């Protein structure tokens, strides 16, 4: 399989079109904002369009011209709040309509498939993330 790298606005615009058609898409996310559960540039994620979004889901969203892959940490009607698992403080706010797709599967470099959890325990550990991520980044 050929590997191609495209700018986010082009690639993820096409991903959005594929998901609207009811198909799934597999992408390799970049960055470290979802550590330790999704390792940028190494893991791949399977995205699908879901009718329902719940706290704990990992979603791809288009906010203010940027595409972000983060976990939903709050829902208030149509408004949603997101935070990367590897982030210590920063959150994003968007709407349900801006969600492009939901991560249904994480594929590790060895081909192993992992179903994403809700991150409930990880959210509980938020006060300790700084220390856990410091150790984790030194080990990988």
In a domain, 1, yes or no: no
In a domain, 12, yes or no: yes
In a domain, 99, yes or no: yes
| Per-position pLDDT tens, the chain of length 140 | 566 777 777 888 889 999 999 999 999 999 889 988 999 999 999 999 998 999 999 999 999 889 999 999 999 999 999 999 988 888 999 999 999 999 999 999 999 999 998 888 887 888 888 888 888 888 87
| Rounded Cα gap, residues 26 and 11, in angstroms | 11
Range of the domain at 126: 8-139
Domain CATH code at residue 88: 2.10.109.10
Structural domains in the chain (count): 1
| Rounded Cα gap, residues 22 and 12, in angstroms | 15
3-state SS, one letter per residue, for 22-76: CCCEEECCCCCCCCCCCCCCCCEEEEECCCCCCCCCEEEEEECCEEEEEEEEEEE
* pTM (two decimals): 0.87
In a domain, 17, yes or no: yes
For 27, the token pair is 């992408």
In a domain, 101, yes or no: yes
Residues 59, 74: contact at Cβ < 8 Å?
no
């Amino acid at each position: 399989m050929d590997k191609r790298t495209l700018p986010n606005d082009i690639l993820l615009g096409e991903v959005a079109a594929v998901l609207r058609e009811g198909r799934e898409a597999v992408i390799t996310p970049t960055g470290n904002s979802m550590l330790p559960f999704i390792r940028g540039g190494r893991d791949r994620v399977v995205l699908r369009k879901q009718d329902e979004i719940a706290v704990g889901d990992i979603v791809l969203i288009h906010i203010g011209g940027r595409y972000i892959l983060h976990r939903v940490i709050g829902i208030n009607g149509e408004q949603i709040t997101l935070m990367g698992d590897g982030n210590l403080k920063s959150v994003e706010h968007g709407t349900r309509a801006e969600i492009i797709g939901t991560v249904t599967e994480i594929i590790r470099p060895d081909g192993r498939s992992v179903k994403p959890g809700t991150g409930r325990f990880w959210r509980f550990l938020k006060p300790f993330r700084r220390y856990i991520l410091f150790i984790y980044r030194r080990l990988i």
